[in-house]
Amino acid sequence: MHARAVAATTTALLGTAALLVPATDARAGAERPTVIAHRGASAYAPENTLAAVDTAAELGIDWVENDVQRTKDGELVVLHDDNLRRTTDAEEVFPGRAPWKVKDFTAAEIARLDAGSWFGPEYADARVPTLKQYVDRVETHHQKLLLEIKNPELYPGIESETLKVLANEGWLDGPHLADRLIVQSFRADTVRTVHELKPAVKTGLLGTPAVADLDRYAVFADQINTSYASISLGYVAAVHAVEGPHGRPLEVFAWTVNDVNTARLVAGYGVDGIITNTPDVVRDALPAE
Ligand code: G3P
Ligand code: CA
């Protein structure tokens, strides 16, 4: 039995008592969680821009997370919200185009927008990157990518289109599939579709599904990536006790953790990764490997 499955069984037997085990004891022998820069190093540079990728690299962070959506003319772009208002100057550049949905603008129109000044004047040159531009920059830094397909219900077929861009840019070769790429979504049907189209891609389901439902998600998801506030030592152990589609225990990445105490708390739960706007803070909060 895998060590985590043993731990989970132990936890199940101990029940509530296991939840009272101090964090340091709970993680004895466990690996240090992976640190993932959420939307890039988004506490220090405008989220989901190439600058945020660059900043993560400057901090020595290997993994970045992003959000992928689709323009009116079919280009995949990296942006969190389904509209352009919060993180660009779309309202000024295109007055009268409310509600400024990503899906209602062409790639050329979006490329004109300033995606950095909202964060700081020094980022006025930042643009909304295409997925191609984004993965190429991640590759330049030899980083790894946790790619979220955002709002897939708005973009039928985005799963295959995302995989096509990844393939074209060399991200579906052996080394990338082995350890440099995870595709995640809040929509289980999207995660399932990605798995069915390209079973070798590691996948994550965002959310905190009931333990009773984990078996059916484990058919197509390698990870359960969940809000840190919704989990416990027992929940993480229960996830680890389930085997995923590649014959390994399901993993847990927790989001969005931006302070030392919470990083140590969730590390104590045994999570496999911590998604954070402040990746340097979280990295430095964890014990050295
Ligand atoms: O990767 C987890 C996290 O990104 C999910 O939430 O809203 O920041 O995309 P959100
Ligand atoms: Ca995200």
Is residue 109 in some structural domain? Answer: no
Is residue 148 in contact with ligand 1, taking CB distance under 6 Å? yes
Residue 23 has pLDDT above 60, yes or no: no
Mutate to test the pocket of ligand 1, among 144, 227, 228, 255 (most ligand atoms within 8 A of CB): 255
With respect to residue 218, please indicate whether it lies within any of the assigned structural domains: yes
> Tens of pLDDT along 101-118?
999 999 999 999 999 999
Given a cut of 70, is residue 220 above it in pLDDT? yes
Query: For residue 34, is it within any domain?
Result: yes
- Cα–Cα distance between 168 and 208 in angstroms, integer? 33
Determine the pLDDT at residue 231.
96
Q: Nearest ligand to the C-alpha of residue 253?
A: 1
pLDDT value for 4 = 40
Of 51, 30, 31, which Cα lies nearest the Cα of 42?
Answer: 51
Closest among 91, 116, 117, 118 to 105, alpha carbons compared: 91
Higher pLDDT, 5 or 195: 195
Ligand 1 contact, 275 CB (< 6 A): yes
Q: What is the mean pLDDT of residues 112-137?
A: 98
User: How many residues are present in the chain?
Assistant: 289
Whole-number pLDDT of residue 289:
73
Domain count, the chain: 1
pLDDT at residue 227 tops 80? yes
User: Looking at the domain assignment, is residue 280 inside a domain?
Assistant: yes
Domain at 184, CATH number: 3.20.20.190
Q: Does the pLDDT value for residue 136 go beyond 80? A: yes
> Does residue 104 belong to any structural domain of this protein?
no
pLDDT at residue 13 greater than cutoff 60: no
pLDDT digits (tens, 9 = 90+) for 168-219: 999 999 999 999 999 999 999 999 999 999 999 999 999 999 999 999 999 9
Going by alpha carbons, the residue nearest to atom 10 of ligand 1 is: 80
Higher pLDDT, residue 288 or 133: 133
Write out the DSSP string of 158-197.
Answer: HHHHHHHHHHHTTTTSHHHHHHTEEEEES-HHHHHHHHHH
What pLDDT is stored for residue 28 in this prediction?
41
Closest approach atom of ligand 1 to CA 186: 5
**DSSP label at residue 82:** S
Q: Identify the helix (H) or strand (E) that includes residue 128.
A: none
pLDDT of 18 higher than 80: no
pLDDT of residue 288: 83
3-state helix, strand, coil in the chain (%, to 5): 40, 15, 40
Higher-pLDDT residue of 98, 287:
98
- 191 lies in some domain: yes
For residue 280, what pLDDT band results from cuts at 50, 70 and 90? very high
Angle of helix 158-168 versus helix 131-140 axis, rounded to 10:
40
The pLDDT score that the predictor gives to residue 68 is 98
266 is a domain residue: yes
Q: Which protein residue has the closest C-alpha to ligand 1 atom 4?
A: 38
Domain membership of residue 30 (yes or no) is yes
Q: Range of 38's domain?
A: 3-81+129-285
The pLDDT score that the predictor gives to residue 257 is 98
The pLDDT of residue 30 is 63
Residue with tokens 């022998």: 29
